[in-house]
A and B are shown apart, each in its own frame.
Chain A
Amino acid sequence: MNMTLIWIVQLLCVPALSPLCIGVIKKIKAKLQNRVGASIVQPYRDLWKLLHKDEIVSRDASWIFKAAPFIIYAVTLVAGASIPLFASFLKNPFTGDLITVVYTLAIGTFFLALAGMDTGSPFGGFGSSREMTVSALAEGGLVFSLFTVALVSNSTNLFAICATGQLLQGQSFLPMALAFSGFFIVLLAENARFPFDNPATHLELTMIHEAMILEYSGKRLALMEWASANKLVIFSALTANLFFPWGLAGNTGLFSIATGLAIFILKIVFFCGVIALLESGMAKLRFFRLPDLLIIAFIFNVIAIGLIKP
């Protein structure tokens, strides 16, 4: 296949798959609660519906509130192009560095939190405050789990790490397993899932992510929802490809790409299932217990780095 075409697939992969992931999680959770649940394509329909709604914008809002959804969505697109998804032969020396990806995603968090404060609603403000608290404390675990992987594979470029392949074995098994645990905790924190946040509620005093986007409606709400789904796919893809780099397309053949894509979707759906199981099986933690969990993620990775032989 043509390289340009492959890059287009890579670019579209994240936004195309993200509503599906949300659908799968919701479906599994519904099944576990003895409900039938909506179809797994329901999130696509929801986005389509929101895109065709009129909008109401607060009179206190500035251009930050209006521009934020576009910026946040664009950030997830750039981050989606900067991480390995389905092919191990792609290279991105421009934006594919792990620190670059972490800080690129931080732009999204920055504008999301500002947008939450912009309308002057107490909900938005406290949502932003909590979001920044959680993401500040998650930063250490996030950077360090990526560092652990980078130390094992001797490169900080995510594509290069992925191309090294087969990391979960031999001497590096234990550090990688620890790094995986740390990274998974951060995934839950960064994507506002249990036990950090409850993505299913509105107007609960504990909510974080939903509080910040409370004032959005119509197209901008659609973008916000879609962007947060994109972020979930980005984190799942990182988990899938850094810690379990199996089944990636090794060459540009059509069959190889198709298998790579199929295995990638399977892996993502599997992680969605794990998240759904976790969410059905545990309660949300009290806000001031969250730092403990995030520091545990960091400590895991410090131990992991200690276990790696230089």
Chain B
Amino acid sequence: MITLFTIPTTFTLLLSLFSAGAIGSLCLFNHDELANRWSGIFSIAGSALGIILGIAVMATGHTGSFVFGASSFPLLSLSFHLDQLSAFFIFTISIIALFCSIYGLGYVRHYYGKYSIGALGFFYNLFILAMLLVVSSANGLLFIIVWEIMSVSSYFLVVYDRQDKRNVKAGLLYLIMTHVGTAFIVLSFLLLYKYTSSFDFATIKAGMALIPSFVKNAIFILALIGFGTKAGIIPLHIWLPSAHPAAPSHVSALMSGVMIKTGIYMMIRMFLGLLSPVPLWWGLTVLVLGSVSALLGVLYALTEHDIKRLLAYHSIENIGIILLGLGSALTFSALNLPSLALLGLVAALFHTLNHATFKSLLFLSAGSVIHQTRTRNMEDYGGLIKTMPQTAFFFLIGAMAISALPPLNGFFSEWLTFQTLFHGMASLNYWTKWIFVLSAGSLAFTGGLALACFVKAFGAVFLARPRSDSASRAKESGLSLRIGMGALAMVILYLGLFSGMVVSFLERIAGDLGVFRDAPSLIASTDHSQLGIGLNFASVSAPVLAIGFILAVGAVWLAIKYGVYRKQNVRVGVTWDCGTNLTPRMEITATGFSRSIITIFKGILRPSLQHDIEYHDAESRYLPKSRTVTLGVRDVYQTYFYRPLQRLANDAFQRTTNIQSGNLNAYILYILIALIIGLYWVL
């Protein structure tokens, strides 16, 4: 492959496929079916090529650096650099985009005649294209431009279903937050430019010695806020749970699965690539942010009964887990323990890939359910496992993977993260050790709470009896939706079973970063079937686990079914319920399920309970006609972080009205003063 197509030509072909998909579907705007096919086929072809390109670069170890044309702007060059890390992210984006596009072919149908399909195809292709450019650009200015294209195209996808006012509002919040983030990123790049006189990543890296340490710290904080907003770390996450659910489901899958990972990509690129060597407190900061995001993300997920918001909060949780790996990598690298740092980065990368797969699968299967029932409220579902058995099975696979149950892929990346944190606890001293202890504790509780949350989600959506008419009328989704979900489920199984091989592959990618050039490896996976750390320190084997489970279930089933009492008679009856008539209202609901956990964590979650009672006779208030109980979780971030911030800004803006007299002469005076000061400054 690599001999036939060089990296630049393949990359150009990749870009032109997505561009053709985008422009073509825009041209076909008044023909829904054709526009959908066109956009789908080109994005499928482009993603397939992206997968090939990613694998080829990772497997051969070639690095591609190339510049398109000569730019007429001095600082902006259309230069790209494809190294192992970029190739890994291209692979991750492409594999998710491939299955989302297949899924989209069928899913988009219900928008026919309602909204413009051509516009959807345009922004969808543009969005994927921009993500691919983000992870491959080698110039700061180019990066900011494609980053903006990514943000704006995804904004239009968020507000696509514009008849719902909530979606438009969510889109606005997203647009504002993402631009606040971009402002911080621009600031950090400008600081880099001030000291190295270049926007080119390679030149910046070469001139790193010119930057004083306090400026480096400032750049770190600015970049962390900027990229953290995109990644959705708490407290910068507020756009994520409202924007991701608003988009069409295959776009939510892409946004949650891969778009937020571009923030992680740039954190790795900047902190471990450009800005290294790093001071100790950077890593510890990332660790603390990671543990807070993981724990709070899952707690907020538990309070949700909108299925897509629940999944969006789990993205925050998983970004937290990825940051635990990345934070320990930074810490170890600051403490000059490169082997452990490598282990942490491998854990972070593996969890990035895994989260992309299972979160997309969960969003796609949630989309399949929403497609049938036309509601996102989990309280209106129930019993869907009988009418939508395949969707239910795929959701179960995704739920087990995200809850880190072996032998699925989520377990192995969490295992690596646990091992990294454990090594931190074992080998460090004083307060660095305590931060690792608390991070590991946060990860342990997160694991337990995530399991509870997915029992709630699966149980409320698929089990027991339907709780609404639309749920009882649901049918299994179409073929393209099931192919998209099924293929992702296969990827999850594959990544789990061959985790030993995948991890040794990822270790090469992580080792390609300059800081880890000659770090001795801790990961021992000699025969690819087993994932081990150190010499006999820890090991786990996915194939043995999987075969063990299958053999054990099979043996138990055979022994019980045929070993004893073969003539057993199994009758079907009604669920026993103390002799009353069992109605769907008597089942446990999603809200009821998590009620006890919310009560236990009420100090953090601040739940609010509101009773509304309507009386038959408002005067006497003896006979209530109806009672409404509203259980909600107050948005702590709005109350304690964003509102005060807004008030502060408003106050400052109010002050400036003092000089805004509306008098033209005054303004001319201001201009004069500014000119004089400016002249004085220049001369």
Q: Which chain A residues have a beta carbon within 8 Å of chain B's beta carbons?
A: 51-60, 62-64, 70-71, 73-75, 77-78, 81, 93-95, 97, 99-100, 103-104, 106-107, 109-110, 113-114, 117-122, 124-126, 128-130, 132-133, 135-140, 142-144, 147, 150-151, 154-157, 160, 214-215, 218-219, 223, 287-288, 291, 298, 302, 305-306, 310
Contacts and interface: CB of A to CB of B under 8 A. Distances in A.
Contacts of A291: 600
Contacts of B570: 54-57, 218
B474 to A, nearest CB: 14
A124 B463 CA distance: 12
B575 A58 contact: yes
B671 to A, nearest CB: 63
B573 A121 contact: no
A180 to B, nearest CB: 18
Given A133-B597, A157-B537, 6 more contacts: A94-B540, A99-B419, A106-B403, A107-B405, A114-B459, A120-B382
A97 B415 contact: yes
Interface residues of B, number: 85
A136 B597 contact: yes
Contact of B588 (A58, A74, A122, A151): A122
17 contacts: A55-B569, A57-B570, A64-B463, A70-B553, A78-B548, A94-B545, A95-B540, A97-B540, A120-B575, A125-B587, A143-B440, A144-B441, A147-B440, A154-B426, A157-B538, A223-B560, A310-B426
Contacts of B440: 143-144, 147
A58 to B, nearest CB: 4
Given A55-B568, A136-B449, A223-B560, A156 B419 contact: yes
Nearest to B542: A94
Nearest to B393: A63
Interface in B548-595: 548-549, 552-553, 555-557, 560, 564-565, 568-577, 582, 584, 586-588, 592-595
A110 B405 contact: yes
B425 interface: yes
Contacts of B444: 139-140, 142-144
Contact of B568 (A93, A126, A218, A302): A218
B587 A122 contact: yes
A110 B593 contact: no
Contacts of A156: 419, 422, 537-538
Contacts of A99: 414-415, 418-419, 540
Contacts of B465: 60, 120
A288 B597 CA distance: 10
A143 B537 CA distance: 17
B451 A121 contact: no
Q: Is the interface of B mostly helix, strand, loop or mixed?
A: helix
Contact of A125 (B428, B588, B597): B588
A110 B400 contact: yes
B406 interface: yes
Given A78-B549, A128-B588, A144-B441, A133 B452 contact: yes
Interface of B: 382-383, 385-386, 400, 403-406, 411, 414-415, 418-419, 422, 425-429, 433-434, 437, 440-441, 444-445, 447-449, 451-452, 454-456, 458-460, 462-465, 530, 532, 536-541, 544-545, 548-549, 552-553, 555-557, 560, 564-565, 568-577, 582, 584, 586-588, 592-597, 599-600
A222 to B, nearest CB: 8
Contacts, number: 266
B575 A94 contact: no
B588 A133 contact: no
Contacts of A93: 530, 532, 536, 539, 541
Contacts of B596: 129-130, 133, 287-288
B588 A129 contact: yes
Nearest to A93: B539
Contacts of A142: 444
A219 B568 contact: yes
A107 B411 CA distance: 11
Contacts of B556: 70, 73-74, 77, 223
Given A70-B556, A136-B451, A215-B576, A95 B541 contact: yes
Contacts of B599: 288
Contact of B540 (A100, A129, A143, A305): A100
Contacts of B573: 56-59
A115 B120 CA distance: 41
B572 A140 contact: no
B452 A136 contact: yes
A214 B576 contact: yes
B571 A57 contact: yes
B577 A122 contact: yes
Nearest to A203: B578
B422 A136 contact: no
Contact of A128 (B459, B532, B600): B459
A62 B403 CA distance: 22
A104 B555 CA distance: 18
Given A55-B569, A60-B575, A106-B403, A129 B592 contact: yes
A25 B549 CA distance: 30
Given A103-B404, A109-B451, A215-B576, A136 B541 contact: no
A119 B536 CA distance: 45
Residue of A114, A136, A215, A298 with highest tally of chain B CB at under 10 A: A136
A144 B383 CA distance: 38
Contacts of A59: 572-575
